[in-house]
Structure 1
Amino acid sequence: MPETPETAVTLTRQAIESRHSDRGRARALLGAALAKNDQYEPAWRWLAEVVEDDGERLFCLNRAYALKADPATGRARKALRAASPTPPAEVSDLVDPPPPAAEVTGRTTGRHRLSWIAAGAAAMVLLSSLGVWTASGDRQGDPVHVALVAGMTGDNAVASAHMERAVRMHLDTVNAAGGVHGHPVELLVYDDADRVDKAVAIAEQIVRENQVLYVVGHSSSDTALAAAPIYQRAKIPAITPSASSPRITDGSDWYFRSMFGNRTQSDFLSAYVSRVLGSKTAAVVYEDDEDGRSGHETFVESFSEFGRVTAAVAISAAAESREESVEAAVAEVKARAGGAPVVLALKEKNGLDVIDGLRSAGVTAPVLGTSALSSQAFHAALVEREKAKARPGSLTGNLFMGTPLAQDSLSGPAQVWADDYAQRYHERPLWQAAMARQAVNVGLHAMKAGGLGFDEANRAEDRRRVRDSWASLKDRKNSFAALLGPLYFNASGSAQMPVSVVTSDGSRFVSAPTQFTIYDPLSDDAVKADLAQGRVIAVKNRYLSLRQVVATGININEIRDLDTTDGTYFVDFFVWLKYAGDNAAADVQFVNAVKPDLKLGEPLRNVTENGQTYRLYRVADRFKTGLQFHDFPFDHQQLTVLLQNRTRTADQVSYVTDKEILDQDPRDYLRSGADADADINQVPNWLASSVRFFRQTVGSSDALGDGQAAGAANGIYYSQYAAEIALDRDTLPFLVKNLLPLVLLICVTYLSLFFKPSDGGPPVSMGVTAILSTAVLLNNVTAQLPKISYIVALEWGYYAFILLAATCVLIAMLRKRLVTTNRDSAEHTLARAARIAYPVYLVVVVTAFVAIFG
């Protein structure tokens, strides 16, 4: 076998191996490595590790940083800035020799002397600017580190990648705004491959490195449960975005969960099997790991309130026996379930095979799944399997999955976030991304509000403050406004949030027509009344209330007659509602209509089939919203139509986006529903750029005197559905029409600088006239705005010209004064400077406006 040639890489590896036993040999090997390739950055870094002199260490770090601007290298250089860089003996041959001394052969001429002076002055300016820039950079605090630990490789790599993207995307926004109290937040990503041994090693590494303030992760229950005692002992707060076993947070007061756990999930699924699907029996197929076992155990416990589990089968986690386990599970469920709903507590790979096996075996019973099977990625895998077997609809039918995130019921902020994520990464975010974003954000919230020290000396106390901040989020009144709504934790550290149930429409998961939500009773009498009437269900120590889900669609026909002085506009649109249950879902009001009693009227279509009702209406009236004019005339306005139930709270009815809207290209939202060839926008001088549809929850944290209202203990909230039309002002015609007189005044005022200094009267008159004319023009331009207390963008432009005109008046007076006192040279200098500075000033102002609003 040929001998491996020595390269910079191999020599560096040898040096690393011998650095502890023979430091001198390690230095020699690294010197040899750099002699072969002085551009190999790791060799410089390792040489900095083995040398003992600070000057030599700084020299090596400087060379490494010049090759790769690594933040860790930069921080190490900063710590040694008091030392003087000195090349180690091992690399002295790589340092250029000093140049020979230059001989002086003659006297420097005056022109050369001036050149040197000019160069010196330029260098001083450059160094001063660099010093200011460096000083301002030093004022930024040291970075704060947050860890993300997930299975970046392995079966859950796709979900973990979504987590990392969501966290990085949010931290980019936070750092662009200055970080947390001036400290940038750096993300350290660790891959535990969803393996327990790697999870333990990484947790110990995090403790040993002592850098991170808190941990987001781990992503599976097995790995989180293995790492929990390590974080507990080190008192490092951790929050998992996706591990659902209750044992993780039960056993540690330093571990939290940014989504619901298996106890909550099982309570909701049990109620769904019993009350919605009407079954007293169920079968369970679960993964033989911590997630699956705890999902099975909690479901059996919860479902005992309603019936019994007739079959419970584990799927082996071992790859070699997985296929046999799936076949055995399908056979046992078919034999013992007797057509009862089947609950799957499985990962995606086994979930796909079990659903395929059940349907292939002729089992048509409803299949329910835990959150691991609720992502759009899993739905896409089902559809691909259907296509491969030429059995469309065979696997996606009669599915009901529990999830923390239903894509059709995103609120306004969540919809914006999901759109931004899709624009950045070219795919819609999975629910794991939203949970990771919530996890990192609640940590940032604790950092901002907790009075932290942000240095190594205060790290233990900072971690305790983060942990205590999370523990203080204990109910809805004491919650954090997270991406998906109020985030707060139960006594064991698991997020208190409802489980949404999604079903397939053939192309995606959408909200099921009947849901449950968490019910907080105000009194025992209220609980008894709601239980008796069937509006509330008791599951263990929890109360759940039935929620009617209304699939809502809005198709805009026309928007016109925008009045910016009072914020009103006319909208003509179709609206339809699809729901199961009584017709109270159609008893809606438009909360931002100019007429407070605006109703839907009689439906154009009213169809009820198989318990599902479809109603179509047409509405045409004036609406209002609060317009913002800070950027006028470069402003963008959001015109909304807000629909809300008149009597039922958000606990009883929720409006979500209909699949017909989800199936449309967003560009089609700008086409009229009454005439597909027409644009919805009929507002002169405005351009419609987009239309968005989303749900939102509004209300009061107080019961407002209604103690019998559902959820009154935490206030009364209502579900709204919003259509939001984005209008951009057609700026160019506006500027041409309204700024042309100002441009003429600018030209005339500039001419005043070319008058003779003795003619002081006309330039002064021209400047004063320009100021007064500008004030009149500004009043005319802003007359279309309502009464506002702030200065709009265009006003700053007019004020900039008024300042310029006033300066021209002052210059005219100074020029005349200088001539009168026989200081002609100074007058000429002032005149030239003013004629140059005038257009430069205008260019700076225009450039600033283009940079801010362009």
Structure 2
Amino acid sequence: LLVLGHFYSASAEIAGTLYKQRGIPAITASATSDSITYENDWYFSVLPSNRLISEFIANYIKSGLGYKSASLIYANDPHGLSLSESFIQHAQELNIQIKGQWSFDREDRKLNDRLSYITAQLRAMDDPGIIYCAAYPIEGVKILAGLKFPGTPYTIIGPDSFSTPIFIKELLAYPKERIIPGYHSDGVYTTIPFMASIDGQKTRRFREEYLKKYRQEPSWIAACYYDAIQVAVKAIENAEISGQDLPGDRRKVRDALQRFSDIKAAVNGVTGPIYFDENGNYPRSMNVGIYNRRTLSPAFIQYQHLSDIGEESALTHGLGDNIISIGGKMMTRTKIVYVGSQIIEVRDLNTDSNTYSVDFFIWFRFKGEFDDKQIHFPNATSRIRLDQPVYEDRSGNITVRAYRIKADFKSAFDYYRYPFDEQRLFIRFHHNFMTRKRLIYVPDSAGSPKNLMKNGLAEKIGHGLPGWHINDISVYQDIERFMRGEKQFEVAFSRFNTDIHVSREKSNYLLKIFIPMFTLLTVLYLAYYIPISELRLRVLLILSVPIGNAFYHIKFTSLYSGGLLDYAYWAIYALTGAALLATVVTHSLQKRQAIKPARFMTVAEKIAHPVLVLAFGCWLGYRYFS
């Protein structure tokens, strides 16, 4: 009915001819050659084509990195040629001087000699500019190993093949890269379709589920094929296929895919809203990553599509100098600011007002200028001002600035599972003026600035939360949306979150809640062993249970009403009612001299009580811990 793949451009190009002849729709999430989808309305890609990738790279080299010259290395095959031809065309349009260009044949028996010759030529140049390596991972890594190591001045950028797991695997074949992570790869730029750290909440959930299932970070290939499957399923649903006419059903699915033709008809995937242009490609915004110790992190400058702002409007919004045009669509420059936080102490958790106090460090790592004085903490109980930093360091054009903050915050607590509840204490902030089109926060995985540790400023976490335990602290970026202006248009801001997970100490609540409950249920059960002839004593004992139960019910649910604990107290009331009813029935039977039924009731009530308590306890435990 539909094909997902192929992985490589070469195989997708060959298979695409067959799919077109046989009328079989196909979606790739890894192959990017222009010829795959060009003049083939049966093949679709959830990635931009090589032409758009190289157009973007040329613009990024000029506007994002500030280079005016470049050198080009490319594979002499359809994939490499489409990347190189587009780059040369757009480099000329942008007045980027191409100081040299070299090609290689991947099937050449003397390929290694050819690559060695290319790297020797580059090393002989005084200034080759930035080096664009339009190659597959295997050849790309060989070029890197010959050019780049500590102390060399070369800046290298590659297409999305440089951000694949295969690229990392090839790097590890070199002993120095294995021993010193980043020996060959530090500072290498690459485009990448998916970066979990700079996307929204849906991406974060996908990453968490992927880590839970596979115990490793999702690659962009995994994320894009996940989206390709979502698109395929949605197209099949929309196609309303019969299952009786396979060629007809395939055409219906192809037509449904073609109807995903703009952002309004897009499928909302983890990598963004997916739709196809006139050639069957997804013209997505492209992220740029940079390697540091063999880990790919977002570069300080990114570009995003201005899907809702025209060029003239963008100029009036003050974005004109930060605009580039890719495939006829405008993109605006977005600043990446790395943010880290380190908790020193959490204290004074007040469950009446849902407030808590936190003493913590926060630091920003950024390129160029950044106005951190305009940071707003929406869940702080009073305004927080970032005054004098406790630490600041400038290295070149990279600044690290740290503050120490002591403040009170408020969160919405959920007491449904009290006393086994876990609460989340948030510290959240966003910029007052810079929207997500201009600023995205990224968690700083590099850790706290070294001087914080050296000067003893960064201390081990402590807390003044009696009765609570800190389980985990996580940091992440998501999106906060506001409606603004007279026309109430939506504005999105990048929001940074520090999420402190706390849970109650269980031992205290076993004594305060469950032992009294167990005692009341035991008293109720013992009432069944009082002979029915001692009716008054039995009834008084039964009635003592709801009185005691009401005392504890009012005491705890006045603070935490509406939770699962309510069910336990109401269950005791119900069991009390059942005990009174059983007592009345048994007394009535004995009064009428119905000896056998009376004996049956006496035995049944002694069995039914623990069975009901056990069944309810299992149900309540399932609800608490499922």
- Correspondence list, 1:641-790, <5 A: 641-661=427-447, 674-676=458-460, 679-699=461-481, 704=485, 715-785=490-560
Q: 1:697 Cα shift?
A: 2.1
Distance 1:683 1:800 in 2: 32
1:266 aligns with 2:54: yes
Q: For each residue in 1:572-612, what CA deviation from the matched residue of structure 2 results, as whole angstroms up to 9, or x when unmatched?
A: 210011111223355211122222x3232322223333122
Matched residue SS, 1:294: helix
1:414 aligns with 2:184: no
Q: 1:542 Cα shift?
A: 2.5
8 Å CA contact 1:286, 1:346 repeated in 2: yes
Seen in structure 2, the aligned counterparts of structure 1 residues 551 and 496 have a Cα distance that, compared at 3 Å, is same
8 Å CA contact 1:305, 1:540 repeated in 2: no
8 Å CA contact 1:407, 1:510 repeated in 2: no
Q: 1:271 Cα shift?
A: 1.5
- Correspondence list, 1:827-846, <5 A: 827-846=598-617
Task: Tell me the equivalent position of 1:317.
Answer: 106
Q: 1:481 Cα shift?
A: 3.8
Seen in structure 2, the aligned counterparts of structure 1 residues 532 and 794 have a Cα distance that, compared at 3 Å, is closer
Q: What is the root-mean-square deviation of aligned Cα atoms in Å?
A: 3.5
8 Å CA contact 2:182, 2:292 repeated in 1: no
Q: 1:319 Cα shift?
A: 6.3
Q: Which residue, out of 435, 438, 441, partners 2:230? A: 441
Seen in structure 2, the aligned counterparts of structure 1 residues 276 and 433 have a Cα distance that, compared at 3 Å, is same
Matched residue SS, 2:582: helix
Task: Tell me the equivalent position of 2:338.
Answer: 551
Amino acid at match of 1:695: Q
Identical pairs, percent: 23
Q: Which residue, out of 108, 119, 133, partners 1:330? A: 119
Distance 1:648 1:425 in 2: 36
Task: Tell me the equivalent position of 2:81.
Answer: 293
Distance 1:490 1:338 in 2: 39
More helix by share: 1
Seen in structure 2, the aligned counterparts of structure 1 residues 485 and 831 have a Cα distance that, compared at 3 Å, is farther
Task: Tell me the equivalent position of 2:11.
Answer: 223
Q: For each residue in 1:468-489, what CA deviation from the matched residue of structure 2 results, as whole angstroms up to 9, or x when unmatched?
A: 6655555555544432444444
Seen in structure 2, the aligned counterparts of structure 1 residues 600 and 801 have a Cα distance that, compared at 3 Å, is same
Q: For each residue in 1:756-797, what CA deviation from the matched residue of structure 2 results, as whole angstroms up to 9, or x when unmatched?
A: 234444444444442354244223212223x7xxx4222222
Q: For each residue in 1:804-835, what CA deviation from the matched residue of structure 2 results, as whole angstroms up to 9, or x when unmatched?
A: 22221211111112222222111211221221
Seen in structure 2, the aligned counterparts of structure 1 residues 552 and 827 have a Cα distance that, compared at 3 Å, is same
Distance 1:739 1:306 in 2: 74
1:370 aligns with 2:162: no
Distance 2:610 2:578 in 1: 13
Amino acid at match of 1:675: E
Distance 1:295 1:463 in 2: 32
- Correspondence list, 1:351-750, <5 A: 351-359=140-148, 364-375=153-164, 378-379=167-168, 381-382=170-171, 385=174, 387=176, 394-406=183-195, 408-409=197-198, 411-444=200-233, 450=238, 456-457=243-244, 470-476=257-263, 478-520=265-307, 522-529=309-316, 533-584=320-371, 587-595=374-382, 597-661=383-447, 674-676=458-460, 679-699=461-481, 704=485, 715-750=490-525
Seen in structure 2, the aligned counterparts of structure 1 residues 645 and 244 have a Cα distance that, compared at 3 Å, is same
8 Å CA contact 1:557, 1:673 repeated in 2: no
Task: Tell me the equivalent position of 2:66.
Answer: 278
Seen in structure 2, the aligned counterparts of structure 1 residues 764 and 219 have a Cα distance that, compared at 3 Å, is farther
Q: 1:373 Cα shift?
A: 0.6
Amino acid at match of 2:57: L
260-269 or 466-475, which deviates more? 466-475
Distance 2:4 2:448 in 1: 32
Structure 2 unmatched ranges of 5 or more:
none
TM-score by length of 2: 0.88
Seen in structure 2, the aligned counterparts of structure 1 residues 402 and 563 have a Cα distance that, compared at 3 Å, is same
Distance 2:69 2:102 in 1: 15
Q: For each residue in 1:242-285, what CA deviation from the matched residue of structure 2 results, as whole angstroms up to 9, or x when unmatched?
A: 11223333434443333343233223311221123333332222
Matched residue SS, 1:726: strand
490-499 or 238-247, which deviates more? 490-499
Amino acid at match of 1:456: G
Seen in structure 2, the aligned counterparts of structure 1 residues 557 and 301 have a Cα distance that, compared at 3 Å, is same
Q: For each residue in 1:647-682, what CA deviation from the matched residue of structure 2 results, as whole angstroms up to 9, or x when unmatched?
A: 111111111122323999xxxx9xx97432xx4443
Amino acid at match of 2:469: L
331-340 or 348-357, which deviates more? 331-340
572-581 or 504-513, which deviates more? 504-513
8 Å CA contact 2:377, 2:429 repeated in 1: yes
Q: 1:237 Cα shift?
A: 4.1
Q: 1:742 Cα shift?
A: 1.5
Matched residue SS, 2:174: helix
Seen in structure 2, the aligned counterparts of structure 1 residues 531 and 775 have a Cα distance that, compared at 3 Å, is closer
Distance 2:273 2:145 in 1: 38
Seen in structure 2, the aligned counterparts of structure 1 residues 373 and 683 have a Cα distance that, compared at 3 Å, is same
Seen in structure 2, the aligned counterparts of structure 1 residues 255 and 281 have a Cα distance that, compared at 3 Å, is same
- Correspondence list, 1:23-422, <5 A: 214-232=2-20, 236-307=24-95, 308-318=97-107, 320-331=109-120, 333=122, 338-359=127-148, 364-375=153-164, 378-379=167-168, 381-382=170-171, 385=174, 387=176, 394-406=183-195, 408-409=197-198, 411-422=200-211
Seen in structure 2, the aligned counterparts of structure 1 residues 721 and 392 have a Cα distance that, compared at 3 Å, is closer
Matched residue SS, 1:456: coil
Seen in structure 2, the aligned counterparts of structure 1 residues 575 and 771 have a Cα distance that, compared at 3 Å, is same
1:820 aligns with 2:602: no
Amino acid at match of 1:805: T
Amino acid at match of 1:302: H
* Higher relative contact order (Cα pairs below 8 Å, separated by 6+ residues): 2
Matched residue SS, 1:497: coil
TM-score by length of 1: 0.66
Matched residue SS, 1:343: strand
Task: Tell me the equivalent position of 1:799.
Answer: 570
Q: 1:524 Cα shift?
A: 4.3
8 Å CA contact 2:342, 2:448 repeated in 1: no
Distance 2:306 2:126 in 1: 32
Q: For each residue in 1:277-312, what CA deviation from the matched residue of structure 2 results, as whole angstroms up to 9, or x when unmatched?
A: 333332222234443232223323333331354433
Tell me which structure has the larger Cα radius of gyration: 1
Amino acid at match of 1:588: I
Q: For each residue in 1:186-238, what CA deviation from the matched residue of structure 2 results, as whole angstroms up to 9, or x when unmatched?
A: xxxxxxxxxxxxxxxxxxxxxxxxxx5x4332211222233334445555543
Matched residue SS, 2:312: helix
Distance 2:409 2:126 in 1: 55
Q: How many residues align?
A: 620
Matched residue SS, 1:555: strand
8 Å CA contact 2:12, 2:36 repeated in 1: yes
Matched residue SS, 2:511: helix
Amino acid at match of 2:499: E
Matched residue SS, 2:446: helix
Distance 1:829 1:452 in 2: 62
Q: 1:354 Cα shift?
A: 0.8
Structure 1 unmatched ranges of 5 or more:
1-211
